[in-house]
């Protein structure tokens, strides 16, 4: 189930391409297990009954002989949109600037790395994020709120993190109530895109390799610029970054969030309906 645009290393050639692959393996040893599992699966010719793919651009790299066993669905993010029945006019509060927290320096899965090879430095990271949000607030005049990551635990950290209030487990609703969404790499960003919210994509000096590239790839797909919050230009015009290219947003939605060719139903409803339909067909034979 494809979630984000991906970095295509086929554009890299020769030694550089292989060095990139080795670098990714060493930064994420679990890739070795995944590759071994894929080889074993192919060798044993284990064939699944169904293959579930999401988004219009989801690749189907499989030797599956039964093309009719493929079930196309939306991404799981889109289920929240389908469940949402609250009209925009009925929202109780309005959030001005919303930052989508990823708990990056403390993330338990260690998915963020710095130039030194370790995790992001909490002091550097939060200082840069706060500086950027203060700059935004000063120019645009909106209040700032942090949508805390579901796995975050800021009450037990020994360093100063955000200078703004944070709210946990209400990210979808906070995005819906927001005027502007600030993010780097977060699946919650998809909700902002589906809602056609003005999005500002940011990074810092310590974001490198996969995460840095992904921010730029997403920005390119949406027609956005990436702002390095460690080097905010003195003459930056935040307002100029709030434009929305509806065509690019729509293309992104159809590629990575919802499949325009499948029913407007939740993921597992689509899967269950398909399997039930197949079983009904079998019993009639």
User: Would 263 be classed as within a structural domain?
Assistant: yes
User: Would 4 be classed as within a structural domain?
Assistant: no
Q: Are 222 and 228 in contact (CB under 8 A)?
A: no
User: Would 98 be classed as within a structural domain?
Assistant: yes
At residue 25, the pLDDT reads: 59
Assess whether 159 and 128 both reside in one domain: yes
Q: Are 219 and 182 in contact (CB under 8 A)?
A: no
User: Would 85 be classed as within a structural domain?
Assistant: yes
User: Would 236 be classed as within a structural domain?
Assistant: yes
Assess whether 214 and 263 both reside in one domain: no
- Structural domains counted in the chain: 2
Residue 45's pLDDT band, with cuts at 50, 70 and 90, is low
3-state secondary structure of 196: coil
At residue 112, the pLDDT reads: 53
Q: What is the pLDDT of residues 163-220, one digit of tens each?
A: 999 999 999 999 999 999 999 888 899 999 999 999 999 999 888 655 778 899 999 9
Assess whether 173 and 84 both reside in one domain: yes
Quote the percentage of the chain above a pLDDT of 70: 72
Average pLDDT over residues 78-100: 81
At residue 11, the pLDDT reads: 41
Angstrom CA distances, 129 to 47, 175, 198, 225, 243, stand at 46, 18, 18, 17, 21
Q: How far, in whole angstroms, is CA 275 from its chain's centroid?
A: 29
Residue 10's pLDDT band, with cuts at 50, 70 and 90, is very low
The tokens describing 244, both together, are 């929305």
pLDDT mean across residues, the chain: 81
User: Would 3 be classed as within a structural domain?
Assistant: no
Q: Are 190 and 257 in contact (CB under 8 A)?
A: yes
Q: Are 99 and 147 in contact (CB under 8 A)?
A: yes
Assess whether 89 and 222 both reside in one domain: yes
User: Would 2 be classed as within a structural domain?
Assistant: no
Assess whether 232 and 210 both reside in one domain: yes
Assess whether 239 and 271 both reside in one domain: no
Q: Is the pLDDT of residue 31 over 70?
A: no
Assess whether 228 and 242 both reside in one domain: yes
What is the 8-class DSSP label of residue 120?
Answer: P
Average pLDDT over residues 243-260: 92
Lookup result for tokens 């029913």:
263
Q: What is the pLDDT of residues 103-149, one digit of tens each?
A: 888 866 555 544 454 568 889 999 999 999 999 999 999 999 999 99
Assess whether 140 and 235 both reside in one domain: yes
At residue 47, the pLDDT reads: 66
At residue 42, the pLDDT reads: 63
Angstrom CA distances, 9 to 5, 12, 20, stand at 13, 5, 8
User: Would 239 be classed as within a structural domain?
Assistant: yes
Q: What are phi and psi of 54, to 5 degrees?
A: -120, 155
At residue 250, the pLDDT reads: 95
At residue 60, the pLDDT reads: 55
In sequence order, which ranges of the chain are alpha helices (DSSP H)?
A: 14-27, 30-44, 77-83, 122-140, 171-177, 189-194, 209-222, 246-256, 267-283
Assess whether 106 and 192 both reside in one domain: yes
Average pLDDT over residues 61-82: 77
Q: At what angle do helices 14-27 and 209-222 cross, to 10 degrees?
A: 110
Assess whether 224 and 189 both reside in one domain: yes
Assess whether 136 and 230 both reside in one domain: yes
At residue 212, the pLDDT reads: 79
- Give, for 183, the enclosing helix (H) or strand (E): strand 178-183
Could you tell me which of 39, 36, 67, 42 has the C-alpha nearest to residue 53? 67
Distance (Å, rounded) from C-alpha 284 to C-alpha 261?
27
Assess whether 130 and 60 both reside in one domain: no
- Expressed as residue numbers, the domain containing 62 is 9-75+259-279
What is the 8-class DSSP label of residue 185?
Answer: S
Supply the CATH number for residue 122's domain: 3.40.50.2000
């Amino acid at each position: 189930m494809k979630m984000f645009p991906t970095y295509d290393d086929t554009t890299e050639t020769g030694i550089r391409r292989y060095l990139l692959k080795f670098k990714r393996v060493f930064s994420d040893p679990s890739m070795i297990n995944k590759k071994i599992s894929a080889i074993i699966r192919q060798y044993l010719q284990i064939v699944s009954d169904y293959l579930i793919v999401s988004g219009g651009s989801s690749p189907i790299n499989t030797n599956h002989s039964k093309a009719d066993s493929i079930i196309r669905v939306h991404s799981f993010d889109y289920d929240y949109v389908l469940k949402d029945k609250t009209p925009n006019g009925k929202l109780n509060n309005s959030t001005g600037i919303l930052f989508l927290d990823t708990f990056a320096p403390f993330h338990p899965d260690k998915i963020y790395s710095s130039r030194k090879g370790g995790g992001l430095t909490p002091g550097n990271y939060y200082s840069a994020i706060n500086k950027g949000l203060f700059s935004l607030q000063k120019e645009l005049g909106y209040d700032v709120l942090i949508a805390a990551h579901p796995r975050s635990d800021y009450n037990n950290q020994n360093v100063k993190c955000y200078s703004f209030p944070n709210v946990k487990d209400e990210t979808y609703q906070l995005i819906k109530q927001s005027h502007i969404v600030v993010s780097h790499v977060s699946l919650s960003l998809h909700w902002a895109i589906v809602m056609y919210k003005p999005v500002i994509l940011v990074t810092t000096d310590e974001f490198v390799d996969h995460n840095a590239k992904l921010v730029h790839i997403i920005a390119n797909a949406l027609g956005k610029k990436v702002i390095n919050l460690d080097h905010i230009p003195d003459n930056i015009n935040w307002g100029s970054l709030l434009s929305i290219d509806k065509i690019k947003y729509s293309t992104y939605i159809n590629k990575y969030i919802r499949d325009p060719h499948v029913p407007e139903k939740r993921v597992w409803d689509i899967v269950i309906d398909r399997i039930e339909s197949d079983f009904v067909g079998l019993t009639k034979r």
